[in-house]
Amino acid sequence: MNYGTVTIEGKKFSAENNVLIVAEIGTSHRGSLERAKELIDAACDSGADCAKFQIVYADEILHPETGTVSLPGGEVPLYDRFREMEVPLSFYQELKSYCEGKKLIFLCSPFGLRSARELRSLSPSCIKIASPELNHFPLLRETAGYGLPLILSTGVSRLSDIERALEETEAANEKVLLHCVTSYPAPEEDYNLNIIQNLSAIFGIPVGVSDHSLDPVLIPVLSAACGACIIEKHICLSRSDPGLDDPVALPSELFEKMTLAVRDTQGKDRESVLEVLAGRYGREKIISILGSGQKKLAASERQNYGRTNRSIHAVRNLNENSVIQKEDVALLRTEKKLNPGLSPEFLNTVIGAHLSRTVPDGAGIEWADIICTHEPPLQS
């Protein structure tokens, strides 16, 4: 692979020649094939190269008692909303065929081993790992073994988290990092886009950007000028729709505006692009968005660290003095109101340990909860 270039379906994508534009549809289809195809049409008409989806099973992602999320219709239990997103695998098979008919790359994120294996059965050309799953080590190892390019989103992560994820995915034949700020919407000043070249230099792989800010041009164009080979942004039919991501997504006319602006940036000198953007948005704003280039948690996502990403949670009431079995725990997002548990790297230590106290269903398992009386098995 050429430095700074990712190859998918035989096409090479880079900041200089052909940025990969990903229209993140996610679950905005709300289980409707007709709506999903309408969103694919919007992505195609807006100039995207790729339409992205998510194979969702709520139990792979979070616990029923994780809390609520604020949406245009009011407070909604987050677990229930994820349950509503569950559709048969045939749904995605049809979407993949529809994307192929539109000459779009079909991209999808799994959130656990079940969804990963189902996704593999669809023969995708690449796989996207979302930011909260960057420390879901069983999922990383599983997907790395598929022989497909992996796109790893790096929101709400530290440099050490990225390094560990890349170690866990060593078997993958091609990898790309997506710089991301896990906040909805994400403040533009938090993007620290000078990190793009630094991450690429540190790890020797291409870097793109997943953008959750509201402006259709500023972050995407500045990202491309800073060397991003992929620009991912949510697309919607209307920002007033009730999907989880619709309030921060771009309607098709704004998505097309973004695509045209990014294409116009390709091949241009970085400094000339910065001058144009400075004239439009102000020099101080551009400088603040470029940032220090140091990889650190952005201010808007700092409180989510350890809650949005995965940790070890009980999935039933566990009694004091009992031995933790594999089926007693899961690697889940903590999210809203539960306590975070131990990092997934300690899963094999937790399984087989004795409980020093009762742990309620849903709680994150902490060091104080366990007495380790065994040698943890080697990770497979």
Give per-residue pLDDT as tens, 249-264.
999 999 999 999 999 9
% of the chain exceeding 70 in pLDDT? 96
The answer to whether 227 touches 282, Cβ cutoff 8 Å, is no
- Average pLDDT of the residues in 338-361: 96
> What gap in Å lies between CA 15 and CA 6, rounded to an integer?
10
State yes or no: pLDDT of 153 exceeds 60.
Answer: yes
Of 313, 293, 290, 135, residue with least CA distance to 218: 290
The answer to whether 135 touches 111, Cβ cutoff 8 Å, is no
At residue 71, the pLDDT reads 65
Strands 74-77 and 68-71: antiparallel
The kind and range of the H/E element at 283 are helix 283-290
Residues constituting the chain: 380
- Using only C-alpha atoms, the chain has a radius of gyration, in whole angstroms, of 21
Of 300, 305, 303, residue with least CA distance to 188: 300
> What gap in Å lies between CA 227 and CA 225, rounded to an integer?
6
List domains and CATH numbers for the chain.
6-290 (3.20.20.70), 309-371 (3.90.1210.10)
The kind and range of the H/E element at 355 are strand 354-355
For the four alpha carbons of 46, 51, 56 and 62, in that order, the dihedral sign comes to: negative
> For residue range 262-299, what is the model confidence (pLDDT) as tens digits?
999 988 999 999 999 999 999 999 999 999 999 999 99
Reported pTM: 0.94
Q: What is the DSSP string of 155-193?
A: TT--HHHHHHHHHHTTT-S-EEEEEE--SSSPPGGG--T
Give the count of beta carbons closer than 10 Å to the beta carbon of residue 106: 24
**Both structure tokens of 162:** 């990225």
**Where does the pLDDT of residue 322 fall: very low under 50, low under 70, confident under 90, or very high at 90 and above?**
very high
At residue 45, the pLDDT reads 97
